[in-house]
């Protein structure tokens, strides 16, 4: 029994790592623009589908991965330029509806480009399964967790140790004053979409060997990433990391102990509980945005 639960936890860690990447995209965009971008999961789909189809066509996996992330990043930038920026005078609710529309539109593009058949991507490295205290992880899990570590360390270094990161933090803390400092908020909004889409695309690329890639995988990933972001706190990148892992583990454990049909239901149960009991999330701040 214990060993079964441990195995569920390990599986949850892997899924959670992907949720954390998608959640990081939600947090990045929310922090810089105040928008909840419900199209976030589709960037993971674009990454996974692009990499899988290129690799199927014979391209070496590293090249396919780089191009896939670039395609996702371009999609993110275009989403901002074509749909968000023209409506920047709109209210928050309108912008959220626009992102819902983007979500549907991007899934449609995915369907048009790749069809309904699932695509497969080979694991990045061959080798035997990883054993941890009697539990087993596929070799690809190391790539997933390594990607998480690198992305979150880079985000930390950017926000804490670069002028641009400091400027973004100032802009987030106090937009009107930041603009008198010459900090270009709109440019940052654009780059937040590009970065969030690249991170989501990267998540899609590394998870594709485990889950496969389908045109509609973005919906599930996007919702899970949203729950993870709310769970951790929408304004907290460490919260996205913690929220992703907690959600992944709880889903897999509940799914394993009860039935797999419960996996997603548990996620939304958590969402409701968090919103009722601790709306700012586990690591978020209760302070209102300026």
Partner 1 sequence: MTAAAETAAAAATLAVRNVSMRFGGVLALDDVTFSARAGDVLGVMGPNGAGKTTLFNVISGVQRPTAGTVTLNDVVLSGKSVDHVASLGVTRTFQTPVMFWGLTVRESVVVALAAREFGRRYPPAPLRALVSSGLGSPLRRGVDRALREEADALLERAGIRHLADRATETLAFGEERLLELARALALAPTMLLLDEPLSGLNPDEVHAVLASIRGARAAGIGVLLVEHAVGELLAVADRVVVLDHGRKIAEGDGEQVARDPVVIDAYIGDELE
Binding residues for partner 1, per CB under 8 A?
157-158, 161-164, 166-167, 169-170, 173-174, 176-188, 191, 287, 290
Measured from the CB atom, the residue of 164 and 257 that comes closer to partner 1 is 164
Measured from the CB atom, the residue of 33 and 211 that comes closer to partner 1 is 33
Measured from the CB atom, the residue of 78 and 123 that comes closer to partner 1 is 78
Q: What is the dihedral of CA 191, 63, 44, 4, to 10 degrees?
A: -130
Measured from the CB atom, the residue of 69 and 106 that comes closer to partner 1 is 69
Q: How far is the CB of 232 from partner 1 (least distance, A)?
A: 19
Q: How far is the CB of 147 from partner 1 (least distance, A)?
A: 18
Phi, psi of 24 (to 5 degrees): -60, -35
> How big is the chain, counted in residues?
290
Q: Which residues contact 197 (CB under 8 A, 6 or more apart)?
A: 25, 43, 46, 72, 73, 74, 75, 76, 77, 79
Q: How far is the CB of 289 from partner 1 (least distance, A)?
A: 11
Q: How far is the CB of 233 from partner 1 (least distance, A)?
A: 15
Phi, psi of 137 (to 5 degrees): -125, 145
- How far apart CA 204 and CA 140 sit, in angstroms, is 13
Alpha-helical (H) ranges within the chain are 2-33, 40-56, 61-79, 92-114, 140-161, 163-173, 175-180, 185-211, 217-232, 237-257, 262-277
User: Three-state DSSP class for 87?
Assistant: helix
Measured from the CB atom, the residue of 154 and 272 that comes closer to partner 1 is 154
Cα angle for residues 263, 266, 272 (degrees, 5° grid): 150
Measured from the CB atom, the residue of 14 and 196 that comes closer to partner 1 is 196
Helix (H) or strand (E) holding 137: strand 135-137
Q: How far is the CB of 14 from partner 1 (least distance, A)?
A: 27
Q: How far is the CB of 135 from partner 1 (least distance, A)?
A: 34
Alpha-helical (H) ranges within 57-139 are 61-79, 92-114
Q: How far is the CB of 166 from partner 1 (least distance, A)?
A: 4
Measured from the CB atom, the residue of 173 and 275 that comes closer to partner 1 is 173
């Amino acid at each position: 029994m214990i060993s079964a639960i441990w195995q569920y936890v390990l599986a949850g860690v892997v899924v959670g790592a992907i949720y954390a990447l998608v959640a990081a995209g939600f947090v990045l965009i929310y922090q810089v623009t105040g928008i909840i971008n419900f199209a976030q999961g589709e960037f993971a789909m674009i990454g996974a589908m692009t990499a899988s189809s290129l690799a199927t066509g014979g391209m070496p996996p590293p090249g396919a991965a780089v191009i896939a992330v670039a395609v996702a990043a371009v999609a993110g930038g275009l989403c901002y330029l074509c749909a968000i920026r023209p409506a920047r005078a709109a209210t928050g609710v309108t912008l959220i509806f626009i992102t819902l529309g983007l979500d549907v539109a991007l899934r449609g593009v995915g369907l048009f480009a790749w069809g309904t058949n699932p695509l497969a991507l080979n694991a990045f490295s061959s080798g035997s399964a990883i054993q941890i205290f009697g539990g087993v992880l596929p070799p690809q899990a190391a790539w997933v967790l390594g990607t998480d570590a690198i992305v979150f360390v880079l985000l930390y270094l950017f926000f804490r140790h670069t002028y641009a990161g400091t400027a973004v933090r100032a802009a987030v803390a106090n937009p009107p004053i930041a603009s008198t400092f010459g900090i270009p908020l709109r440019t940052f909004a654009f780059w937040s979409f590009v970065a969030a889409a690249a991170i989501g695309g990267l998540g899609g690329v590394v998870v594709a060997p485990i889950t496969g890639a389908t045109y509609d995988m973005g919906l599930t990933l996007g919702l899970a990433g949203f729950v993870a972001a709310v769970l951790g706190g929408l304004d907290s990148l460490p919260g996205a990391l913690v929220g992703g892992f907690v959600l992944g583990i709880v889903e897999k454990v509940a799914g394993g102990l009860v039935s797999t049909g419960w996996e997603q239901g548990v996620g939304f149960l958590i969402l409701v509980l968090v919103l009722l009991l601790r709306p700012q999330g586990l690591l978020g701040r209760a302070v209102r945005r300026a």
